Amino acid sequence: MDASGNQVSQSNLGEASQFQPSCEKPRRQVSTTRVIRITLFVALIAGLVIAGKLTGVTDNLSPEWVRDTVRSAGVWGYILYVVVFVLAELAQVPGWMFIAAGTLAYGRLVGFIFAYIASIASVATGFALVRWVGGQPLVEIKQRHAKILLSKLDERPILVVFLIRLVFWIAPPLNYALALTKIRFRDYMIGSVAGLILPVFGLSFLFEWVIGYFEGG
């Protein structure tokens, strides 16, 4: 009995040892893939910042520069505006600058429409990239109110994202933080689409009023 029992236990150990390498292999692969993705993401952000410095775009970046650039591109200026908006947000450039540029280039209504589209594209891109990377956010969330809202995310994900957009607007660090939670992309986008309307429209209206005030004066 003991001898046969020992033989069975040894054979079981032998079989288990055969499966051990195959269990460790995917872990190494996943870890390596994650490191590569994080490296690519950091390289993308660093590349955008360096390219902006070398080309002088960062130093000359202003609502007027964006307006002149998109206008000179003709019909393609609309697409260029959205693309530059998204890339600039990834590089931590303040989004209000592009809303002002959209208002300068296209007026309040059309400027609002394209600023709204670009804002949605921006938050979607930041979220998707960080979730693809599966790493850690590059910037720590320091706002106390933002932390409180994030703590309620599991209970009411759409409402929390809506309030975050309403108060903090695009906020790339919050996009990164949200991407590392369990929130579904659908809920994230519903909350973002609904929450961005008022702040983007409000800024478009404000900039049109400011522009009209100074031009009138």
Q: Per-residue DSSP letters for 109-174?
A: HHHHHHHHHHHHHHHHHHHHHHHHHTS--SS----HHHHHHHHTTTT-HHHHHHHHHHHH-S-HHH
Q: Which tens digits make up the pLDDT trace of 48-71?
A: 667 666 666 666 667 788 888 888
Q: What is the pLDDT of residue 13?
A: 46
pLDDT of res. 24:
46
**Residue 46 is assigned to a structural domain of this protein:** no
Phi, psi of 139 (to 5 degrees): -130, 135
What's the whole-model pTM score?
0.70
The pLDDT tens digits for 144-174 are 666 677 778 888 999 999 998 998 888 888 8
What is the span of the domain harbouring residue 92?
61-216
Please check whether residue 10 lies inside any domain of the structure. no
In a domain, 167, yes or no: yes
Domains: count for the chain: 1
What pLDDT shows up at residue 61? 67
pLDDT below 70 — which residues of the chain?
A: 1-31, 34-35, 37-38, 41-42, 44-45, 47-49, 51-61, 134-147, 211-217
